Amino acid sequence: MIETPYLLFLGDAPDMLAAKVAIGIRDWRPDHAVGQISLPGCGADLGIAEMTLAEAKQAGAKTLVIGVANRGGVISAAWKELLIQALDMGYDIASGLHNLLKDEADLVAAAEKNGVSLHDVRIPSVDYPIANGKNRIGKRCLAVGTDCSVGKMYTALAMDAEMQERGMKSSFRATGQTGILITGEGVPLDAVIADFMAGAVEYLTPDNDEDHWDLIEGQGSLFHISYSGVTMALVHGGQPDALILCHEPTREHMRGLPGFDLPTLQELRDTALPLAQKSNPACQVVGISVNTQHLSEDEALTYLAGIEKEMDLPAVDPFRQGAARLVDALAAV
Protein backbone atom coordinates (compact mmCIF):
# COMPACT_ATOMS: atom_id res chain seq x y z
CA MET A 1 0.00 0.00 0.00
CA ILE A 2 1.20 3.52 -0.80
CA GLU A 3 0.94 5.59 2.36
CA THR A 4 -0.81 8.95 2.27
CA PRO A 5 -0.66 11.91 2.44
CA TYR A 6 1.67 12.83 -0.40
CA LEU A 7 4.24 15.50 -1.15
CA LEU A 8 3.94 16.08 -4.90
CA PHE A 9 7.30 16.36 -6.68
CA LEU A 10 7.18 18.56 -9.78
CA GLY A 11 10.90 18.39 -10.53
CA ASP A 12 11.87 20.52 -13.51
CA ALA A 13 8.61 20.02 -15.41
CA PRO A 14 8.63 22.40 -18.41
CA ASP A 15 4.89 23.10 -18.28
CA MET A 16 1.67 22.15 -16.57
CA LEU A 17 0.90 19.30 -18.97
CA ALA A 18 4.13 17.62 -17.94
CA ALA A 19 2.88 17.69 -14.33
CA LYS A 20 -0.42 15.97 -15.13
CA VAL A 21 0.10 13.23 -12.54
CA ALA A 22 0.40 15.78 -9.74
CA ILE A 23 -2.48 17.83 -11.14
CA GLY A 24 -4.75 14.80 -11.19
CA ILE A 25 -4.02 14.02 -7.54
CA ARG A 26 -4.53 17.67 -6.55
CA ASP A 27 -7.88 17.85 -8.33
CA TRP A 28 -9.35 14.46 -7.37
CA ARG A 29 -7.68 13.65 -4.05
CA PRO A 30 -6.83 17.06 -2.56
CA ASP A 31 -6.88 15.58 0.94
CA HIS A 32 -3.88 13.44 -0.08
CA ALA A 33 -1.77 16.42 -1.21
CA VAL A 34 0.12 18.12 1.65
CA GLY A 35 2.05 20.33 -0.75
CA GLN A 36 4.36 20.50 -3.74
CA ILE A 37 8.13 20.61 -4.15
CA SER A 38 9.91 21.72 -7.31
CA LEU A 39 13.39 22.34 -8.69
CA PRO A 40 14.75 25.61 -10.13
CA GLY A 41 13.34 26.34 -13.57
CA CYS A 42 10.15 24.34 -13.02
CA GLY A 43 7.35 25.57 -15.29
CA ALA A 44 4.51 23.99 -13.31
CA ASP A 45 2.72 25.27 -10.23
CA LEU A 46 -0.25 23.47 -8.66
CA GLY A 47 -1.31 26.49 -6.64
CA ILE A 48 -0.80 24.63 -3.37
CA ALA A 49 1.86 25.20 -0.72
CA GLU A 50 5.46 24.96 -1.92
CA MET A 51 7.31 23.08 0.82
CA THR A 52 10.73 21.80 1.63
CA LEU A 53 11.11 18.12 2.46
CA ALA A 54 11.38 19.03 6.14
CA GLU A 55 8.28 21.23 6.10
CA ALA A 56 6.19 18.58 4.37
CA LYS A 57 7.44 15.92 6.77
CA GLN A 58 6.38 18.12 9.67
CA ALA A 59 2.96 18.50 8.01
CA GLY A 60 2.56 14.72 7.92
CA ALA A 61 3.61 13.74 4.39
CA LYS A 62 4.63 10.10 4.14
CA THR A 63 5.25 9.53 0.42
CA LEU A 64 6.99 11.67 -2.17
CA VAL A 65 5.06 11.14 -5.40
CA ILE A 66 6.84 11.88 -8.66
CA GLY A 67 4.12 13.98 -10.23
CA VAL A 68 5.84 14.46 -13.58
CA ALA A 69 5.05 12.50 -16.75
CA ASN A 70 7.87 13.48 -19.08
CA ARG A 71 8.31 12.16 -22.61
CA GLY A 72 9.79 8.69 -22.33
CA GLY A 73 9.09 8.47 -18.58
CA VAL A 74 12.69 8.97 -17.43
CA ILE A 75 14.00 9.58 -13.91
CA SER A 76 16.19 12.62 -14.52
CA ALA A 77 19.70 12.78 -13.10
CA ALA A 78 18.80 16.31 -11.95
CA TRP A 79 16.21 14.83 -9.57
CA LYS A 80 18.47 12.35 -7.85
CA GLU A 81 19.90 14.56 -5.10
CA LEU A 82 16.44 15.51 -3.83
CA LEU A 83 15.07 11.98 -4.17
CA ILE A 84 17.92 10.54 -2.11
CA GLN A 85 17.46 13.29 0.49
CA ALA A 86 13.80 12.31 0.74
CA LEU A 87 14.68 8.66 1.31
CA ASP A 88 17.22 9.66 3.95
CA MET A 89 14.48 11.62 5.74
CA GLY A 90 12.17 8.60 5.85
CA TYR A 91 9.94 9.25 2.87
CA ASP A 92 8.68 6.45 0.68
CA ILE A 93 8.76 7.33 -3.03
CA ALA A 94 6.05 6.45 -5.56
CA SER A 95 6.45 6.77 -9.31
CA GLY A 96 4.49 5.91 -12.40
CA LEU A 97 7.35 6.48 -14.84
CA HIS A 98 8.51 3.88 -17.34
CA ASN A 99 12.00 4.26 -15.85
CA LEU A 100 11.47 2.18 -12.70
CA LEU A 101 12.68 3.21 -9.27
CA LYS A 102 13.78 -0.36 -8.61
CA ASP A 103 16.21 -0.14 -11.53
CA GLU A 104 18.08 2.83 -10.05
CA ALA A 105 20.81 1.34 -7.87
CA ASP A 106 21.44 4.51 -5.86
CA LEU A 107 17.75 4.89 -4.99
CA VAL A 108 17.45 1.21 -4.07
CA ALA A 109 20.52 1.48 -1.81
CA ALA A 110 19.16 4.59 -0.08
CA ALA A 111 15.76 2.98 0.43
CA GLU A 112 17.30 -0.16 1.93
CA LYS A 113 19.59 1.88 4.19
CA ASN A 114 16.66 3.88 5.58
CA GLY A 115 14.08 1.08 5.73
CA VAL A 116 11.65 2.86 3.38
CA SER A 117 9.80 1.74 0.26
CA LEU A 118 9.97 2.41 -3.46
CA HIS A 119 6.61 2.03 -5.21
CA ASP A 120 6.61 1.53 -8.97
CA VAL A 121 2.99 1.97 -10.01
CA ARG A 122 3.75 1.00 -13.60
CA ILE A 123 4.53 -2.65 -12.94
CA PRO A 124 1.73 -5.06 -13.90
CA SER A 125 0.79 -7.20 -10.91
CA VAL A 126 -1.28 -9.79 -12.82
CA ASP A 127 -0.55 -12.25 -15.62
CA TYR A 128 -3.19 -10.88 -17.96
CA PRO A 129 -4.91 -13.14 -20.50
CA ILE A 130 -5.11 -12.61 -24.24
CA ALA A 131 -8.40 -10.95 -25.16
CA ASN A 132 -11.19 -13.26 -26.28
CA GLY A 133 -13.89 -10.73 -27.22
CA LYS A 134 -16.65 -12.62 -25.40
CA ASN A 135 -19.67 -10.55 -24.49
CA ARG A 136 -19.68 -9.36 -20.86
CA ILE A 137 -22.65 -8.45 -18.68
CA GLY A 138 -22.88 -4.86 -17.51
CA LYS A 139 -22.20 -1.60 -19.33
CA ARG A 140 -18.97 0.18 -20.23
CA CYS A 141 -18.11 3.69 -21.32
CA LEU A 142 -14.76 4.66 -22.84
CA ALA A 143 -13.36 8.16 -23.33
CA VAL A 144 -11.42 8.51 -26.60
CA GLY A 145 -9.47 11.61 -27.57
CA THR A 146 -8.25 13.61 -30.53
CA ASP A 147 -4.87 13.72 -28.75
CA CYS A 148 -3.04 12.76 -25.56
CA SER A 149 -3.71 14.75 -22.37
CA VAL A 150 -7.01 16.25 -23.47
CA GLY A 151 -9.10 15.23 -20.43
CA LYS A 152 -10.04 11.57 -20.89
CA MET A 153 -9.28 10.66 -17.26
CA TYR A 154 -11.03 13.76 -15.92
CA THR A 155 -14.08 12.95 -18.03
CA ALA A 156 -14.36 9.42 -16.63
CA LEU A 157 -13.76 10.59 -13.05
CA ALA A 158 -16.32 13.38 -13.35
CA MET A 159 -18.91 11.02 -14.80
CA ASP A 160 -18.27 8.46 -12.06
CA ALA A 161 -18.63 11.15 -9.38
CA GLU A 162 -21.93 12.30 -10.90
CA MET A 163 -23.24 8.73 -11.10
CA GLN A 164 -22.25 8.03 -7.51
CA GLU A 165 -24.06 11.22 -6.45
CA ARG A 166 -27.19 9.96 -8.19
CA GLY A 167 -26.96 6.55 -6.57
CA MET A 168 -26.22 4.83 -9.87
CA LYS A 169 -23.93 1.80 -10.05
CA SER A 170 -20.56 2.81 -11.47
CA SER A 171 -16.80 2.27 -11.15
CA PHE A 172 -13.91 4.34 -12.45
CA ARG A 173 -11.44 1.93 -14.05
CA ALA A 174 -7.92 3.33 -13.98
CA THR A 175 -5.57 2.42 -16.81
CA GLY A 176 -2.62 4.74 -16.15
CA GLN A 177 -0.34 5.82 -13.34
CA THR A 178 -2.31 8.92 -12.33
CA GLY A 179 -5.61 7.08 -12.15
CA ILE A 180 -4.00 4.30 -10.12
CA LEU A 181 -2.49 6.82 -7.66
CA ILE A 182 -5.90 8.50 -7.34
CA THR A 183 -7.97 5.35 -6.83
CA GLY A 184 -5.41 2.88 -5.47
CA GLU A 185 -6.03 0.24 -8.13
CA GLY A 186 -6.13 -0.37 -11.87
CA VAL A 187 -4.04 -1.62 -14.80
CA PRO A 188 -0.85 0.21 -15.92
CA LEU A 189 -1.86 -0.49 -19.49
CA ASP A 190 1.11 0.94 -21.36
CA ALA A 191 3.42 -1.30 -19.33
CA VAL A 192 1.56 -4.48 -20.35
CA ILE A 193 3.09 -6.57 -23.16
CA ALA A 194 1.31 -5.60 -26.37
CA ASP A 195 -0.37 -8.95 -27.05
CA PHE A 196 -2.00 -8.85 -23.61
CA MET A 197 -3.18 -5.22 -23.47
CA ALA A 198 -6.73 -5.85 -24.72
CA GLY A 199 -6.96 -8.86 -22.39
CA ALA A 200 -5.88 -6.65 -19.48
CA VAL A 201 -8.78 -4.30 -20.25
CA GLU A 202 -11.19 -7.26 -20.35
CA TYR A 203 -9.77 -8.33 -16.96
CA LEU A 204 -10.25 -4.80 -15.59
CA THR A 205 -13.89 -4.62 -16.70
CA PRO A 206 -15.41 -8.05 -15.96
CA ASP A 207 -19.04 -9.17 -15.82
CA ASN A 208 -21.11 -6.99 -13.52
CA ASP A 209 -24.74 -6.09 -12.78
CA GLU A 210 -26.68 -5.29 -15.92
CA ASP A 211 -27.19 -1.68 -14.80
CA HIS A 212 -23.59 -1.14 -13.65
CA TRP A 213 -21.35 1.20 -15.66
CA ASP A 214 -17.57 0.93 -15.86
CA LEU A 215 -16.10 4.33 -16.72
CA ILE A 216 -12.85 3.37 -18.43
CA GLU A 217 -9.94 5.79 -18.33
CA GLY A 218 -8.82 6.49 -21.89
CA GLN A 219 -5.18 6.62 -22.99
CA GLY A 220 -3.37 8.09 -25.98
CA SER A 221 -5.22 8.65 -29.24
CA LEU A 222 -5.93 6.54 -32.30
CA PHE A 223 -4.38 9.39 -34.31
CA HIS A 224 -1.18 9.77 -32.26
CA ILE A 225 1.79 8.19 -34.01
CA SER A 226 3.50 7.44 -30.69
CA TYR A 227 0.63 6.13 -28.57
CA SER A 228 -2.13 4.74 -30.79
CA GLY A 229 -1.54 1.12 -29.77
CA VAL A 230 -2.72 1.54 -26.19
CA THR A 231 -5.87 3.28 -27.43
CA MET A 232 -6.67 0.43 -29.79
CA ALA A 233 -6.40 -2.05 -26.91
CA LEU A 234 -8.92 -0.01 -24.93
CA VAL A 235 -11.34 0.26 -27.84
CA HIS A 236 -11.42 -3.50 -28.41
CA GLY A 237 -10.76 -4.83 -24.91
CA GLY A 238 -13.14 -2.34 -23.29
CA GLN A 239 -16.06 -3.58 -25.40
CA PRO A 240 -17.71 -0.19 -24.80
CA ASP A 241 -21.43 0.40 -25.02
CA ALA A 242 -20.77 4.13 -25.21
CA LEU A 243 -17.96 6.41 -26.36
CA ILE A 244 -17.29 9.95 -25.17
CA LEU A 245 -15.23 12.05 -27.59
CA CYS A 246 -12.62 14.22 -25.86
CA HIS A 247 -10.94 17.31 -27.31
CA GLU A 248 -8.79 20.31 -26.40
CA PRO A 249 -9.53 23.06 -28.95
CA THR A 250 -6.45 25.29 -28.55
CA ARG A 251 -3.81 22.74 -29.60
CA GLU A 252 -1.73 23.71 -32.63
CA HIS A 253 -0.46 20.16 -33.18
CA MET A 254 -0.45 16.70 -31.62
CA ARG A 255 1.23 16.57 -28.22
CA GLY A 256 4.98 16.12 -28.80
CA LEU A 257 4.54 15.86 -32.61
CA PRO A 258 4.86 19.33 -34.21
CA GLY A 259 4.46 17.89 -37.71
CA PHE A 260 1.03 16.36 -37.08
CA ASP A 261 -2.29 18.21 -36.93
CA LEU A 262 -5.11 17.12 -34.63
CA PRO A 263 -8.02 15.27 -36.22
CA THR A 264 -11.47 16.81 -36.11
CA LEU A 265 -14.12 15.46 -33.79
CA GLN A 266 -15.91 14.11 -36.86
CA GLU A 267 -12.78 12.18 -37.85
CA LEU A 268 -12.48 10.81 -34.32
CA ARG A 269 -16.13 9.70 -34.33
CA ASP A 270 -15.91 8.13 -37.76
CA THR A 271 -12.71 6.25 -36.88
CA ALA A 272 -13.34 5.17 -33.30
CA LEU A 273 -16.95 4.06 -33.61
CA PRO A 274 -16.53 1.40 -36.34
CA LEU A 275 -13.54 -0.02 -34.45
CA ALA A 276 -15.52 -0.16 -31.20
CA GLN A 277 -18.43 -1.82 -32.98
CA LYS A 278 -16.16 -4.74 -33.88
CA SER A 279 -16.24 -5.83 -30.23
CA ASN A 280 -19.69 -4.42 -29.43
CA PRO A 281 -21.97 -3.80 -32.43
CA ALA A 282 -24.36 -1.81 -30.21
CA CYS A 283 -21.74 0.81 -29.28
CA GLN A 284 -22.81 4.45 -29.66
CA VAL A 285 -21.12 7.84 -29.46
CA VAL A 286 -23.18 9.61 -26.80
CA GLY A 287 -21.39 12.85 -25.96
CA ILE A 288 -18.45 15.20 -26.27
CA SER A 289 -16.11 16.35 -23.51
CA VAL A 290 -14.13 19.52 -24.24
CA ASN A 291 -11.21 20.70 -22.13
CA THR A 292 -11.82 24.48 -22.09
CA GLN A 293 -9.20 25.45 -19.51
CA HIS A 294 -7.48 27.82 -21.96
CA LEU A 295 -10.73 29.54 -22.98
CA SER A 296 -12.63 32.29 -21.17
CA GLU A 297 -16.12 31.52 -19.91
CA ASP A 298 -17.75 33.22 -22.91
CA GLU A 299 -15.35 31.57 -25.37
CA ALA A 300 -16.01 28.18 -23.81
CA LEU A 301 -19.79 28.53 -23.96
CA THR A 302 -19.67 29.70 -27.57
CA TYR A 303 -17.37 26.86 -28.59
CA LEU A 304 -19.44 24.22 -26.83
CA ALA A 305 -22.66 25.49 -28.39
CA GLY A 306 -21.11 25.37 -31.84
CA ILE A 307 -19.76 21.84 -31.39
CA GLU A 308 -23.09 20.64 -29.99
CA LYS A 309 -24.96 22.00 -33.00
CA GLU A 310 -22.41 20.64 -35.47
CA MET A 311 -22.20 17.14 -33.96
CA ASP A 312 -25.78 16.84 -32.64
CA LEU A 313 -24.44 15.53 -29.32
CA PRO A 314 -24.29 17.04 -25.82
CA ALA A 315 -20.98 18.92 -25.49
CA VAL A 316 -19.69 20.00 -22.07
CA ASP A 317 -16.55 20.63 -20.09
CA PRO A 318 -17.24 18.15 -17.26
CA PHE A 319 -14.61 19.63 -14.95
CA ARG A 320 -15.85 23.18 -15.43
CA GLN A 321 -19.57 22.54 -15.77
CA GLY A 322 -20.14 19.10 -14.28
CA ALA A 323 -20.87 15.83 -16.06
CA ALA A 324 -24.65 15.72 -15.59
CA ARG A 325 -25.51 15.95 -19.30
CA LEU A 326 -23.01 13.22 -20.20
CA VAL A 327 -24.48 10.95 -17.53
CA ASP A 328 -27.99 11.74 -18.85
CA ALA A 329 -26.77 10.55 -22.25
CA LEU A 330 -25.42 7.32 -20.73
CA ALA A 331 -28.66 6.68 -18.89
CA ALA A 332 -30.45 6.76 -22.23
CA VAL A 333 -28.27 4.02 -23.74
For residue 5, cis peptide bond before it (omega within 30 degrees of 0):
yes
Q: What's the half-sphere exposure (Cβ side, CA atoms, 13 Å) at 287?
A: 25
Return the axis-axis angle of helices 297-311 and 265-279, rounded to nearest 10°.
50
Spatial distance between the Cα atoms of 61 and 266, rounded to a whole number of angstroms: 46
Query: How confident is the model over 63-85, as a mean pLDDT?
Result: 88
State the pLDDT confidence band at 1, using cuts at 50, 70 and 90.
confident
Spatial distance between the Cα atoms of 90 and 92, rounded to a whole number of angstroms: 7
Phi (first) and psi of residue 214, to 5 degrees: -95, 125
Q: What is the pLDDT of residue 212?
A: 98
Q: What is the pLDDT of residue 233?
A: 98
Write out pLDDT tens, residues 35-59: 999 999 999 999 999 999 999 999 9
Query: How confident is the model over 294-309, as a mean pLDDT?
Result: 97
Name which of 127, 126, 62, 66 is nearest 99 in CA terms: 66
Q: Give kind and range of the element (H or E) at residue 331.
A: helix 324-331
Check pLDDT > 70 for residue 107: yes
Query: How confident is the model over 103-125, as a mean pLDDT?
Result: 95
Write out pLDDT tens, residues 284-293: 999 999 999 9
CA distances from 137 to 160, 202, 207, 210 (A): 19, 12, 5, 6
Query: How confident is the model over 114-141, as a mean pLDDT?
Result: 95
Lowest-confidence range among 115-129, 132-146, 156-170, 228-242?
115-129
Q: What is the pLDDT of residue 116?
A: 98
Phi (first) and psi of residue 156, to 5 degrees: -65, -40
Q: Answer yes or no: are the C-beta atoms of 321 and 278 closer than 8 Å.
A: no
Sign of CA dihedral 103, 108, 111, 117: positive
Check pLDDT > 80 for residue 221: yes
State the pLDDT confidence band at 74, using cuts at 50, 70 and 90.
confident
State the pLDDT confidence band at 69, using cuts at 50, 70 and 90.
confident
Sign of CA dihedral 171, 177, 182, 187: positive
Percentage of the chain with pLDDT > 90? Answer: 89
Q: Is 18 left (phi over 0), alpha (psi -120 to 50) or beta?
A: alpha
Write out pLDDT tens, residues 193-205: 999 999 999 999 9
Check pLDDT > 90 for residue 184: no
Query: How confident is the model over 300-319, as a mean pLDDT?
Result: 97
Return the SS3 of 80. helix
Check pLDDT > 80 for residue 72: no
Q: What is the pLDDT of residue 20?
A: 86
Phi (first) and psi of residue 185, to 5 degrees: -160, 165
Q: What is the pLDDT of residue 71?
A: 64
Q: What is the pLDDT of residue 295?
A: 97
* 317 alpha-carbon distance from chain centroid: 16
Query: How confident is the model over 65-91, as a mean pLDDT?
Result: 89
Q: What is the pLDDT of residue 76?
A: 85
